[in-house]
Amino acid sequence: MPDLHIGGHDLPESALAWKFVHASGPGGQNVNKVATAVECRLRLDGAKLQADVRRRLEKLAGKRLNAAGEVVIFVDSFRTQMRNRQAALDRLAALLQRAASTPKPRIPTNPPPRAKVRRREDKQRRSEVKERRRAPDLPERDQGQ
């Protein structure tokens, strides 16, 4: 079987499974007799992806990844099978491209010393504002005289 070039990867055609079902929602008579919605399943075991790409794809797929190790993409946006199938391939390609790009490692940084000083000064200023809002402590008057 020939390989399909999807999202910068050559996937064997046997790794993809297609299923066409009736779409939900309005559409009159046509929706009841034509299966236009598309369900595309990518078997990760048969996809021949690199280990790090597969790991990122599993994480990115989220709830679209089922227990059988398949990424399931369901499309019923359009009224024709052909457009829904192309939309499913586009979504799969976008997912594979995101998985193929290695994330830039985060380099932890510390705030500059001046920022720490400024934060402490702001806290002190705010504390003084709140202190001035309190009722003043007045000396108690003599009650009996």
The pLDDT, as a whole number, for residue 143 is: 64
Determine the Cα–Cα distance for residues 69 and 52; give it in Å rounded to an integer: 16
Mean pLDDT confidence for 78-95 = 90
pLDDT beyond 60 at 140:
yes
Tell me how crowded residue 70 is: count the other CB atoms within 10 A of its CB. Answer: 20
Residue-range domain boundaries for the chain: 3-100
Percentage of the chain exceeding pLDDT 90: 32
- What is the Rg, in whole angstroms, of the alpha carbon atoms belonging to the chain? 31
pLDDT: is 82 or 27 the higher one? 82
Lowest-confidence pick of 20-34, 43-57, 113-127: 20-34
The pLDDT, as a whole number, for residue 22 is: 82
The pLDDT-based confidence of 26 (bands split at 50, 70, 90) is low
Mean pLDDT confidence for 57-69 = 88
pLDDT: is 48 or 98 the higher one? 98
Q: According to CATH, what is the number of the domain 3-100? A: 3.30.160.20
